[in-house]
Structure formats: structure tokens, C-alpha cells
Structure 1
Amino acid sequence: MDWRRREVLRLLIGGAAGALAAACARRLPSPEAPAVPHTPVRLPGPEQWPVEAAVPITPTSEFYEVKYSTIPRVDVEAWALEIVGEVERPLRLTYADLLAMPAVIEMRTLECISNPVGGDLIGNALWKGVRMADLLERAGARPTAREVVLYAADGYHTSIPLSLAQDPHSLLAYMMNGEVLPPEHGFPLRALWPGRYGMKQPKWITRIELIRGEHTGYWEGQGWSKEAIIKPNSRIDQPRPGMIPAGPVEIHGIAFSGPVGIARVEVSVDDGRTWQEASLTRGPTPYVWTVWRYWWEHPPAGEAVIRARVVQNDGYVQPRGRGRLLGGTFPDGTDEQHAVRVVIAAP
């Protein structure tokens, strides 16, 4: 589903037409690149970062891309981040200023709100940047502030609660997988908020404003969720649909959920009539995807439907499909079970 953020699908709902599009795509080659910086600005070079868990890192070249309009060209020497509004000390920080601040490195999984069931609009990377809470403390966020509004160089805008911006896992990142943040992924600066879909995590950030009221972002104005809290997702990567050989079968995939976290992943090989628990390899935090595996020792010959589901720590279980709009993703993402139909060859 290679949509673009700027493409608008107009669907008829109860006699009223609404603009209901949210779009993500695999990273595509682009002729645009960030402007070459001039001295004395120093861009960070490649770094060797420790991998904190035995879960896969998505290569930057394969990481899905969100595209609201065009990739902006940013002159990093002229660029600055402004923090204004309900703050005691408005800030204007250059790229060099941000690089001089205490840095953190975190593994983080990102998922598009319009990622379909079993889709690949999800990726996991190592990110380096600064804590948003440190910037808010430096600016002196006032208790009167309710939301944090983010504005980007491509014209995109959205908002998050102040409490989320103050979360210790909320980052403004300038490096990805040991390299300078690529232009497709937000050079020079992008947001990473824990437990939220990608539409709430803008790239190419130029301005942050703390406000007393509520802000309606671009995609929120099209009917998509204002909270955009990640829903549980369990994808089956193997086996693929179709014929598989006789004998034991390893079933595996990835699972992801919101801040509640994953208690377990269950697998069914009889279209949901019975369920078995899979083994898990977890990431370092709940904000990183989990690898799950199940060994199907004695698959009978013939057709079978394999399903996977997440059971969250609060007891919530992924449901079967409900046939909602845009593959079930509108307006707040999908949590429907992924199912794969296979035919096991006779021995």
C-alpha cells in the first residue's frame, strides 16, 4: 500500500464525504539531499553503537518512509530550533548547540498508523539525540502549558500532551543507526515519542510551541486520531501463504504494542479454535518490537490457517478482523489478527 501523505482518499461515510488519508511508504530514492554544511558546523560521523537486544535492526535503506509533501532542503548552518510559547526562557538552539548537549542512544520501533494487517510499514532502529524533557527544563516550561505543538520545515504540524513530551523516553533525534539522520528520515532533527504512531512524530522540526489550549494537527484535521496510541500488532513472517513442505514448521514473526506492553504472543494453527504460546525475544524496552517463534511439530497434510495474536499486560487480546475502513486502520490504527493460509504437502 504505497500511499503518500499528500494523497487524499475521499470515502463516502453515512452520506458525508470525508478526507481520510494517512500514508506511508517504503523509503524511495530521492534526488534531494540536505545542504552541505559549512564550517564551523560539524556533523557527527559514523559511530559504533552497542546493540542492546537480540532483536533485528532495520537497515536505514529499508526503513519505511513517511512523506507529507516533498523532502525539504535544510541548510544546517542557517537552521535553528525554536522553543517558544508557555516557557520562561524562549530558546533558539543551533545544530551545534544540540550536539553539545548530553546525548542518549535508544532503540525504538516506529510504525505508521496506516500500516495494514501483516504490513511492513514498521521498522526498528537505533537513534541518538537529546531528551525533550531536558529542553523543556532548560526553557522553563510553565505549569499553564497543556500541549506541545511541533512545526516542520515541510509545513507539517501536530501536537502532543506536555506530559508525553516530559517522558524520559521522548527524544529529538539527529542520528539513526550510527549515521547522520538521512533527509528522508528528518535531517537535521526529528521527534520520537514512546507509544505513538508515526503521524505524531514529525521530521525536519523547526519550531516547538507550548500552548494552554488544544491544537488540531494536519492529519487530525482529516479525521485521524489525535492520540494515535499504538495498538497491538503481531505479524507472521514465516511461513508465507501457499504451499509448504511436509514436516515440522517454524512459525515466527514480530510483535509490537503500546506502553502497556506485551504479556505473551499466541499462535493458532487451526484458524483460532485453539491457541499455543510462542517463545519471545524482547527488546530493551516496551517501545521496541518483540520477536516471537513457535515450533509446529506435527502439521497434518492439507489446508490450514495460521493466526497470531498479542495478549497485552492489561489482559487485552487482539481480535479477529472487523472489516473497518482503510483495511481497518482508520481512524486510529488496526489491532486485527494477522492470518496466513497455507497448504501442507503430503509426506
Structure 2
Amino acid sequence: MGHRKFQVRIALFNRREALKLGTASFAGATLLPGCDLLSLPPLALPDSIPETSSNEDFYVQSAFGTPDLDPDSHELVLRNLGEEVGRIDRATVNSLEARPIEHTLQCIGSHPGLLFIDNAIWSGLPFREVLNNLGITPATSAIEMKFQCADGYSTSIPSSDLDGDPGDPEARALWLVWQMNGEPLPEAHGAPFRFLTPGRYGTKNPKWPVELDWIDEPYLGYWEQSGWSNEATYRTCGFVLSPPHMAEIEEGTVQFLGAAFSGGAAITDVEVTTDGGDHWEAATVTYSPGPHIWTLWSHSWTPPGPGQYRLQVRVAADDGTMSHPNPFGTDRLGGYDGGMEIIIEVL
């Protein structure tokens, strides 16, 4: 994302990461969680947010870190009710003609202090097509797909996610992808291949899969056993990506930049308030391709004078849902559903 392209790095931490983490940047300094106050040059603010995030800037989150594996020899074992029915490796997917799909991923733990949402052009195929190519038919009695991954992570999704909802043209099917923004999938993002599960948070988009079993009983994975949502469906939310919370800004016109997302529902409205919600103004939508892809927005505002101001965003989707007025959201373990608020200091 363009709002994170900054070169200053101190103690393995740079401006791009500071904005990603939503840390407080003020008076030429940044306060990091668990760190001392670090003196940094004034923060340069971007003019826009790129429509797609680069592989280097795309957020990375996993339960146990990136595993040490050889992508060329890595295999995914496919099972029906425990019985092996096939295997997939890099040679398998490289023999197939990949198609591009634009798709946004958001971490279920994202919130105003952790801006883990990004968009990319992935390449692969609907997983059903991969299975058809291998002559594999999932067990008809299966109710879930259980994933085991090379890092020790596990999760499950309904078997119906394989094909999506035939009655809903916006309901995408499960995809297996092996390229990201025109390059082989990076190791941190799941090389040699990973799954994209439309409509569900990153917890349901397994990386480095080693086993997929169609099972006939419910299964709770790693995060789900800790109380995180098992359904993990995306919730309507709005983020302010620039300027960062508690930024000090010179007097004049302020350019706010942000993103809105609602998974399989399309964002229809983005509004901002600078007076605590007494008045709302429509933001300018700069990118909004439709469901499963983030909406980017901007808003120019001239403060009446020096002082401290609050800006909050609210968004609505075409399924009738809206971001919650609580800027911190309503359910930490269910996914962020708030309209983010920031405070800025105008000098």
C-alpha cells in the first residue's frame, strides 16, 4: 500500500510498518508498542493508496511463522474421510493454465491499531477445476474441509465453500493460487500455493497446506479453539489509512485516505465526520470494483484553525449492513466491524 512506502528504518522498524500498525506518530517521533520513544524525521504523507498492494507491502500474519520447507518438493495430500485420493505439488499447478483474480484479504484480528488489510492480483484456478483435472470428487457425505498446514496451523471451512452459492453471482468459489501480482507466490504468503476462501477472514485462507480432508463431522481449528469466530465471515468496516492517529499536521487542507471492505458485499457509501457525528459528508470513492475487493476513498478537509480534531469514517454495503459507530468495533474475536476514528493535531 502506498501509505507505507517510507525508507527510514530504525531497529528494524520503518515508516511503512508504523502506519501498518496504526502507531502514534507525532512531533517527529513514533511510540511503538513495547518500545521507547524513537526520534524520527517528520512523517511524509502519501497522495493516494495504490489499488493493489505490492508483495513486499502486503501484510504477513501466521500462527507460527513461515515454515522451513522446499516449495519444489512440498505436497498437499488430499483425503476423503481420511482415505488418500490424490496429491498436489508445484509441478501439478505449474502444468495448469492459471487465471488472474483480484482479491482482498483482511486479518480477523485487524483493528484501528493493526491495519492488516491488503489487495492483490492472484493467479490460480477455482479449486473445483484443479480437482476435476485430477479426477477427484469430494465425498458427498462430507460437511467440512479440514486443512492441516506445514507450520502446524489447522482450520476448516464448510464443504459448500468449494463451489460458493450457485444462486448468487457474486459468491465466488474456493481458489487455489500459486502466483501473486504476476510473480511466484512468496514464501511468507504460502509458497508454493495457498487457498483463497471468499467471504471469510484470513484465518480461513490457509497457507502452506499439507493435508486437506473432506470430513463428515465439525472441526475446530487452532484459532477457533481459542475463541475466534469459526464462521469468520467478513464484517462491514472502514479504515483511515492516512494520516496516522495522533499525527501532527501543518495548517492547511488535510487529505484523508482510507479503505472500506465487506467481503462478498459491495461497498455503497463512505462518509466522514469531523464534528463528532453531527454532520457527515460523502467521501470521494477512488476505487471500488465490487464485492471481494476493497473500496478506497479520500476526503479533503480544511480545519478552521490550529487545534486537535477527530475524524471518523462510516461505510455501508449493498447487503444493508453498516460499520458500527463504535470506532473500536463490537466483537474482537468476530472481526472488526467499526468505523475507524483518528485524532490529528493541526499546528
On whether the aligned pair clears a TM of 0.5, the verdict is yes
The equivalent residue for 1:182 is: 186
- The amino acid of 2:53's aligned partner reads T
1:82 aligned residue (59, 77, 99): 77
SS of residue matched to 2:94: helix
- Offset of residue 308 of structure 1: 0.3
Are 1:230 and 2:225 counterparts?
no
The equivalent residue for 2:67 is: 72
- Offset of residue 81 of structure 1: 2.1
1:330 aligned residue (322, 329, 332): 332
Are 1:246 and 2:241 counterparts?
no
The equivalent residue for 2:311 is: 306
CA distance in 1, matches of 2:256, 2:294: 17
CA distance in 1, matches of 2:114, 2:65: 24
- Offset of residue 162 of structure 1: 1.3
Cα contact 1:307–1:337 (8 A) shared by 2 = yes
- The amino acid of 1:340's aligned partner reads I
Cα contact 1:253–1:293 (8 A) shared by 2 = yes
Identity of aligned residues (%): 33
- Offset of residue 104 of structure 1: 1.7
Q: Map 1:114-133; keep pairs closer than 5 Å.
A: 114-117=109-112, 119-133=114-128
Q: Deviations over 1:182-201 (max 9, x none)?
A: 21111111111112111111
- Offset of residue 220 of structure 1: 0.6
The equivalent residue for 2:11 is: none
The equivalent residue for 1:205 is: 209
Cα contact 2:80–2:139 (8 A) shared by 1 = no
- The amino acid of 2:122's aligned partner reads W
- The amino acid of 2:279's aligned partner reads T
Cα contact 1:88–1:139 (8 A) shared by 2 = no
CA distance in 1, matches of 2:52, 2:295: 12
- Offset of residue 87 of structure 1: 10
Cα contact 2:274–2:312 (8 A) shared by 1 = yes
Q: Against the structure 1 CA distance between its residues 323 and 263, is the aligned structure 2 distance closer, same or farther, given a 3 Å change threshold? A: closer
Are 1:272 and 2:277 counterparts?
yes
Q: Map 1:43-58; keep pairs closer than 5 Å.
A: 55-58=50-53
The equivalent residue for 1:12 is: none
- Offset of residue 233 of structure 1: 2.3
Q: Against the structure 1 CA distance between its residues 157 and 196, is the aligned structure 2 distance closer, same or farther, given a 3 Å change threshold? A: same
TM-score by length of 1: 0.76
Runs of at least 5 residues in structure 2 that lack an aligned partner in the other structure: 1-19, 22-48, 165-171
CA distance in 2, matches of 1:107, 1:134: 18
* Larger displacement relative to structure 2 (257-266 or 73-82): 73-82
Are 1:113 and 2:113 counterparts?
no
Aligned alpha-carbon RMSD (Å): 2.5
Cα contact 1:55–1:283 (8 A) shared by 2 = no
SS of residue matched to 2:222: coil
- Offset of residue 238 of structure 1: 3.1
Q: Deviations over 1:143-183 (max 9, x none)?
A: 32211111111221111111212234421111112222121
The equivalent residue for 2:155 is: 158
TM-score by length of 2: 0.76
- Offset of residue 213 of structure 1: 1.6
CA distance in 2, matches of 1:215, 1:136: 22
- Offset of residue 344 of structure 1: 3.7
Q: Against the structure 1 CA distance between its residues 76 and 246, is the aligned structure 2 distance closer, same or farther, given a 3 Å change threshold? A: closer
SS of residue matched to 1:139: coil
Q: Against the structure 1 CA distance between its residues 309 and 82, is the aligned structure 2 distance closer, same or farther, given a 3 Å change threshold? A: same
- Offset of residue 235 of structure 1: 1.4
Q: Against the structure 1 CA distance between its residues 197 and 92, is the aligned structure 2 distance closer, same or farther, given a 3 Å change threshold? A: same
- Offset of residue 88 of structure 1: 11
CA distance in 2, matches of 1:109, 1:148: 22
- The amino acid of 1:176's aligned partner reads M
How many residues end up aligned between the 2 structures?
290
